[in-house]
């Protein structure tokens, strides 16, 4: 699903951009993050984005991700509104996992998307 006015990337494009230095910012809630997330992703729940976004490097591309793309689309628009280079991961963590990209827990074990 696409969101009007929100630039998106596919899981393959996201993985390539992360390999080039982009940062995945996971805006899901704590229980979702604990169940599983992309390796190297940074956890910043949408509910705390307003308070925490300044800790993001302003000169790095950010790829926002949630479960299916709705919350991360909101985060993308909000962060773009304050000058960050942000794109949304189309389909969220569900599409990331379906494309065969790893999902891990904090201890490095196999994770799941909830």
Q: Tens digits of per-residue pLDDT, 39-80?
A: 999 999 999 999 999 999 999 999 999 999 999 999 999 999
- Measure the CA–CA gap between 105 and 64, rounded to whole angstroms: 18
Write out pLDDT tens, residues 86-103: 999 999 999 999 999 999
- Alpha-carbon gap, residue 63 to 92, rounded angstroms: 10
Instruction: Identify whether the C-beta of residue 103 lies closer than 8 Å to the C-beta of residue 112.
Output: yes
The model's pTM is 0.95
CATH of domain 8-98: 3.40.250.10
Which active-site residues does the annotation give? Answer: 66
What value does the CA radius of gyration of the chain take, rounded to a whole number of Å? 13
């Amino acid at each position: 699903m696409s969101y009007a006015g929100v630039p998106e990337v596919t899981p393959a494009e996201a993985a390539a951009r992360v390999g080039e230095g982009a940062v995945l910012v996971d805006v899901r809630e704590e229980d979702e993050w604990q169940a599983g997330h992309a390796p190297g992703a940074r956890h910043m729940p949408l509910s705390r984005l307003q308070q925490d976004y300044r800790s993001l490097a302003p000169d790095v591309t950010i790829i926002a991700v949630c479960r299916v793309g709705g919350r991360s689309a909101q985060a993308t628009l909000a962060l773009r509104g304050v000058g960050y280079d942000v794109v949304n991961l189309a389909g969220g963590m569900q599409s990331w996992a379906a494309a065969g990209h790893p999902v891990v827990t904090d201890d490095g074990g196999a994770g799941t998307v909830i």
